[in-house]
Structures are given as structure tokens and as C-alpha cells.
């Protein structure tokens, strides 16, 4: 049942404020993170290994910024198909965390089995609670997103980020890096997100109009810095999956190390950038694009829009949030840009060609 929506994908995009709010309340009903299903102790963990495929891998890349910045916990993020065959050393002081919507992805399951007996903890973040990955973990944390039908993952990604943010806050507390006041403050910021996501969903019409030009492009670049870099990867993946337009995500600082060679007036460049500490550097990157007649679509907040508007092709002004948790908010325009570009192209949004919802073979 699409609940009055045209596709499951857009229904699931619009469910996000509700499912994220439920997920956040589940892991932090008050001013502290509570992991109800069991205990996990990061205090003696000296490394966190995060392994997944596709969109779930990008959730891990976002979480690396959180675990490292909040908890001071070094992270290795790997693609499951690389991790399992590379057979990397896994120390007894490491925790290994596997993220999977389906809980059945063959490579992620094989990676989990490889780490079992080596890492101190085997953790998973899954949507399907009775899945193989959940069953074979010491602790399986459900994302509580409900059934996701659209092949392109949307609400599951957001709830993966919700669980990972809570876990990073827990790790920060257990490692003595934050006090109770800071924990309450971080949780307060997280809890503000469902309402802000709702506000950003109201930008759908503006996004729909903007994507008309994107649908004619051959190549689209996505740029971001810090925790918005993996969001650029996710924005590009979502777009190529459902619109079949070639898209690449890059760290903004990498632009001049190669991808700028692609830029001319036919190449739209979507920049996902709240006004953060490095925003001035992002402005320089946009100027480099504009100097080559590239069309910049800047997705930012009010202060970012005020600082950068000169020469920018389009600006989408998002609600303001602490940049550390901005990926949860900027997931929404990334999804809607992909969705509406695909609609303009007339592709099958819920069942994109060549893709399966659950990849149980390698």
C-alpha cells in the first residue's frame, strides 16, 4: 500500500520524520542513551571496524566522523566484499560493527563471520530483526524503520544514521569524552531533526522544479566535506540507481585532484554544505566550478546561502542544525533530487533495472 503516494520510494521518504523520531526515542528515551537489548562496552575498545555494502556503507562512513570526533575512537570503514577477501588483522581490542537493512547481504554476512572469534564484540545494525546478520551478532540493534519496499534505500539509511549517532554518543560517554550535560545537548540536537526533516520535505516543489535541468544532464557531480562527504557519495548513488544518470560523489577538497576536468557548462554540481567551520573552503571549490561554467546547485542553510550566493545557479535553503548531525537532514534533499530527476526521465523508481532489494549472492 503506497498510502496515496505515487511510489513506495516517496512514501518512505515522507515516513522519515516519524520513523526517525521512533528510533531516536527507542535508543534515548530521556537525556541519556540506553541500549536496551544488552550491553556494549566501548571503554576498552581501541578501534571500531565498520563494514557494509552500498548505502549502508555510506552510513558507516558518516558514523566514522561521529565515533572519531565525539568518542575519540579510531574507525576503519570497509566495503564488505573487500574486507572479507583482504582478510585484514582484527585485534581483540577491536569491536566490529556490521550495518545491513536486510540483514542477509552475502558479503556483509561473510565479513561478520570472518570477524567472529577475533573482535571483542560483534555488533550489527539491522532493519530485519530475525535476519542472519542479527542472529549471528553478540548484539543486534534494530533500526525500527519498518518494511522498506523501494529498492533504493531511504528511510532505512536515515534510521541507520539514527542508531549509529546514539551508539557514538554512548561510546563518547563510556570513554569519558563527554559529560551528562553534553550528552543531553547532543540528544537534544538529534531530537530536533524529525521536525527539521518535516520542514525540508516542504521544499519538494522547489526541488522538483530544479531537477528538470538535471534530467537532461549526462553527468552530475556531488560534493561535500566532513560528514557531508559520504552524503555526496550517497546522493550520487541514489541518483544513478533510479535515474540512470552518471553521477559521482567527491570530497570537495578532491575536486582539483581530478574531477574538475569533467566540469563544463553541461555538468551540474550539487554541493551539500551547511555553513560549517570549513565553509569558506567550500566557497572556493564552488568558484572553481563556476569559473569553468559549471552550474552549482548549493544545498545549504540561511547563513550559507547569504555567504555564497554570488554566481550560484540554484540555492536550496535548508533549516539550520549543528553541522555534526547535518547528514541526517541533508539525506532528504539528496533523496528528493534523485526521485524527481528520475520522474522527469520516466524511469521505474521503485524497481530500477538490474537491481535487487536484497543481495544474497555475491
The nearest distance, CB 352 to ligand F6R, in angstroms, is: 9
Q: Residue number with the shortest CB distance to ligand F6R?
A: 54
Q: Which residue has the cell 550489527?
A: 124
Nearer to ligand F6R, 108 or 315 (CB): 108
The nearest distance, CB 78 to ligand F6R, in angstroms, is: 14
Nearer to ligand F6R, 105 or 285 (CB): 105
The nearest distance, CB 250 to ligand F6R, in angstroms, is: 18
Nearer to ligand F6R, 144 or 312 (CB): 144
Write out the binding residues for ligand F6R, residues 117-156 only, by CB under 6 A. 152-153
Nearer to ligand F6R, 106 or 215 (CB): 106
Nearer to ligand F6R, 115 or 324 (CB): 115
The grid coordinates listed for 187 are 540528544
Beta carbons of 163 and 141 less than 8 angstroms apart: yes
- 115 by DSSP, 3-state: which? helix
In terms of Cβ atoms closer than 10 Å to its own Cβ (0-12, 13-18, 19+), residue 212 is exposed
Write out the binding residues for ligand F6R, residues 22-81 only, by CB under 6 A. 53-56
Beta carbons of 248 and 222 less than 8 angstroms apart: yes
Helices 16-27 and 326-345, axial angle in degrees (round to 10): 150
In the chain, which residue ranges form alpha helices assigned H by DSSP?
8-14, 16-27, 54-71, 80-86, 106-115, 132-135, 155-174, 180-201, 204-214, 228-243, 279-291, 302-308, 326-345
Nearer to ligand F6R, 246 or 292 (CB): 246
Single out the residue of 53, 106, 360 nearest to residue 234, CA to CA: 53
Cα gap 258→234, rounded to integer Å: 20
Nearer to ligand F6R, 105 or 200 (CB): 105
The nearest distance, CB 205 to ligand F6R, in angstroms, is: 24
Write out the binding residues for ligand F6R, residues 152-191 only, by CB under 6 A. 152-153
Active site residue 118: no
Write out the binding residues for ligand F6R, residues 96-115 only, by CB under 6 A. 100-102, 105, 108
Using the rule CB under 6 A, is 241 a contact of ligand F6R? yes
Cα gap 35→46, rounded to integer Å: 20
Write out the binding residues for ligand F6R, residues 260-289 only, by CB under 6 A. none
* Residue 188, H or E segment: helix 180-201
The grid coordinates listed for 145 are 524503520
Pairing of strands 94-100, 47-52: parallel
The nearest distance, CB 54 to ligand F6R, in angstroms, is: 2
Cα gap 307→118, rounded to integer Å: 49
In terms of Cβ atoms closer than 10 Å to its own Cβ (0-12, 13-18, 19+), residue 291 is exposed
The nearest distance, CB 3 to ligand F6R, in angstroms, is: 21
Taking CA atoms, 202 is separated from 20, 197, 299, in Å, by: 17, 9, 14
From 118, 175, 345, 357, active-site residue: 357
DSSP bridge partners of 296: 269
The dihedral of CA 75, 80, 82, 83: what is its sign?
positive
The nearest distance, CB 160 to ligand F6R, in angstroms, is: 8
Catalytic residue set: 357
Residues that bind ligand F6R (CB under 6 A): 53-56, 100-102, 105, 108, 152-153, 237, 241, 358-359
Amino acid at each position: 500500500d503506497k498510502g496515496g503516494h505515487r511510489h513506495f520510494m516517496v512514501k518512505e521518504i515522507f515516513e522519515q520524520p516519524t520513523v526517525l523520531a521512533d528510533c531516536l526515542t527507542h535508543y534515548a528515551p530521556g537525556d541519556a542513551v540506553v541500549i536496551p537489548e544488552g550491553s556494549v562496552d566501548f571503554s576498552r575498545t581501541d578501534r571500531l571496524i565498520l563494514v557494509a555494502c552500498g548505502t549502508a556503507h555510506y552510513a558507516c562512513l558518516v558514523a566514522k566522523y561521529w565515533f572519531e570526533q565525539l568518542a575519540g575512537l579510531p574507525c576503519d570503514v570497509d566495503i564488505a566484499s573487500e574486507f572479507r577477501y583482504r582478510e585484514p588483522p582484527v585485534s581483540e581490542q577491536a569491536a566490529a560493527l556490521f550495518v545491513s537493512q536486510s540483514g542477509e547481504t552475502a558479503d556483509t554476512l561473510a565479513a561478520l563471520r570472518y570477524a567472529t572469534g577475533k573482535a571483542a564484540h560483534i555488533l550489527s545494525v539491522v532493519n530485519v530483526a530475525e535476519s542472519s546478520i542479527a542472529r549471528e551478532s553478540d548484539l543486534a540493534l534494530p533500526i525500527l524503520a519498518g518494511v522498506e519496499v523501494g529498492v533504493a534505500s531511504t528511510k532505512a539509511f536515515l534510521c541507520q544514521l539514527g542508531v549509529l549517532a546514539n551508539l557514538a554518543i554512548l561510546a563518547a560517554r563510556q570513554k569519558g569524552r563527554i559529560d551528562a550535560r553534553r550528552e543531553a545537548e547532543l540528544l537534544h540536537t538529534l531530537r530536533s531533526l524529525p521536525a527539521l526533516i518535516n520542514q525540508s520535505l516542504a521544499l519538494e516543489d522547489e526541488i522538483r522544479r530544479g531537477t528538470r535541468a538535471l534530467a537532461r544532464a549526462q553527468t552530475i557531480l556531488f560534493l561535500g566535506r566532513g560528514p557531508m562527504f559520504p552524503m555526496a557519495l550517497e546522493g550520487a548513488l541514489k541518483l544513478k540507481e533510479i535515474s540512470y544518470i552518471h553521477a559521482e560523489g567527491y570530497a570537495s577538497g578532491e575536486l582539483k585532484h581530478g574531477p574538475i576536468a569533467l566540469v563544463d557548462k553541461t555538468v551540474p554540481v550539487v554541493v551539500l554544505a551547511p555553513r560549517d567551520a570549513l565553509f569558506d573552503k567550500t566557497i572556493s571549490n564552488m568558484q572553481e566550478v563556476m569559473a569553468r561554467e559549471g552550474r552549482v546547485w548549493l544545498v545549504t542553510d540561511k547563513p550559507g546561502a547569504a555567504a555564497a550566493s554570488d554566481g550560484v545557479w540554484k540555492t536550496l535553503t535548508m533549516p539550520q542544525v549543528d553541522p555534526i548531525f547535518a547528514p541526517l537532514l541533508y539525506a532528504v534533499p539528496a533523496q528528493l533530487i534523485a526521485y524527481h530527476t528520475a520522474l522527469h526521465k520516466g524511469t521505474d523508481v521503485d524497481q530500477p533495472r538490474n537491481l535487487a532489494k536484497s543481495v544474497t549472492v555475491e
